[in-house]
Chains A and B, each alone.
Chain A
Amino acid sequence: MTAAHRRVAVLVVAAWAAASVGVAWRALRGLDRAARSHEALALAHALRGTVPAPAWPAGLDARDSLAVRSEETPLVVHSRSADMITAPVKDADDWDIIGAVGVAARWRERATAVALPTAAAFALGAALLVAVPAVAGTGATALAAGAAAVFGSAAMTTGVRLRAAAEALAPVGGDATVLDRLALREPSLALATLALVLLAACAALAVGAVRWHAAAAGRPVRVRETLGAWGFIAPSLVHLAVFTVAPVAFLLWISVHDWDLLASDRPFVGLAHFRELGADPLFWRALRNGLIYALYVPVTMVAALAAALLLDQPLRGIKVLRVVVFLPYVASTVAVALVWQWLLHRDFGLLNAVLATVHLPRVDWLGNPATALPALMLVSAWGQLGYMMVVYLAGLQAIPASLLEAARLDGADAWQRFRLVLWPMLRPVSTYLLLTGIIWSFHGFTLVYVMTEGGPAHATDVLVYRIYQTAWEFRRFDVAAAMSVVLCVLLLALTALQWRTVKGEPADA
């Protein structure tokens, strides 16, 4: 690594560290305000109906410049000496406002809270740089210093908040309507805490990285590569952790508790919800319907392959035709569902009109349990055909023309060329389409929701619709979570199968 490269690397890492500290600072402020809002609300509640009201705190001067920042967020009264969060105090009925209460943190103390650990952290960083020259320039030390500052600030600010809490109350007669703007909504302490926990995890990772770096100093190339690799995947990793791993963990937690959205008591019930599912015939029916519904995938693949072979010809207007076949895939599913509802209507539907012209009896496609699910499969197939055709087209166009030419010279006819050349070459594409198609088929919801609502007589009740209904119509989130876990396991098994299949494909395929 040249000196110029190193300078650039140090600058990038320093910028990243600075940004991290900025984010941390915002999270800390959020945590601090949320905590003080809780205190303000608790104080206001405790003081409810108190007459006369306690006095204004000695530290706050009426000459201070006071301003309301926002009515929606916790009210912050800025002054030269304090950052105060206030809430109205109401009478015993929680009705008329009789005053207000504020919780303040002094700027001086807050500054001390940040400055001390930051200074300590940078001193530690400097010491590291001197003591372990090998780590210089990697940026990890700066990261560790930033993390230490965050940790220190968190601890100190919280401490300061606890020490500096001060109650203030002004006796207020008159315009309660206007004073109502002081009302606080419950702040999201949990969110701020989560942000802090994530920051702490990042900091711990950073410290670990520094230690690992020091140990691996003798292998600089590998060190650089590994750090670079982790650096690249870090954003995705954080995204996955926050938006995938954490919700799945929460889902698992809900599924083993008696969990109501609005209840505070959520006892552990073990596998009770899973046992309930096992005894619920409608759950098994939904699962069975889902498996049958998934059969539309291979059928659509056959049609898509045929369409791709037809549309892979160098003809005039072929691109327009491809677009036409692809269009249903980009159309709104709700709109598609509504149109098909009419097309399949027993009395007014186009499909029955066609049947009537050839003197066949009308079919109640969506009203008959025997035909409702096949009808939904037909609509799904129509919607997915374009997508699968495009993927097959891409696969076909990636097959070298020389292979087909060689087969032709060897005397292979069209069927033999398809069976012995095209199909084997398209196997990875087919495997991908089959498995992803089946996985997606288990997510099928919109068509069922709009066209049949799971009916008639649960003939089109599929798992995702049942999950939705159980959670939001019956408000049984815990049982719905258990269903989601079952679905998750099912899809994981399919994904594992896909991986194994893809890994088992020949390298030239």
Chain B
Amino acid sequence: MRAFALLSALAFAAHAEDATAPEAEALRAMDAFMAAFNARDVEAWIATLNFPHVRIASGQVAVFRDAAEFRNNFEFARFAEQTGWSRSEWTERRVIQAGPDKVHVAVVFTRFREDGSVLARYESLYVVTQQGGHWGVQARSSYAP
């Protein structure tokens, strides 16, 4: 009985450790990022980022120094109208490297149309960091246009 209790305690401790691991924090931040993006909620989306935020795509490096700069450079309605996008989801996520305050995640994300058909699928790399206790997406290098 004592052995069972000890094993249970160890299992609980291991689980608790997993839950607080940087990888888990980074993936949670990315879940929140995607939820906010799909909800077209720019403030919630900004809350999932760390600044300065860097986006590398199409050979260009875009650096957003703060939330205000980011807010002024993205509009969900225009994005949806131009691309036919309705929602996105993570199709694949793979932690490449991880440290106490930074996790590198290789992802595949899929964009869907309103009718559920696939609009596009892209690979990307996310650098997720912890700044002042806040885990957020610091940089992305995407193969999307």
Task: Say if A and B assemble together.
Answer: no
Chain A residues within 8 Å of B, Cβ to Cβ = none
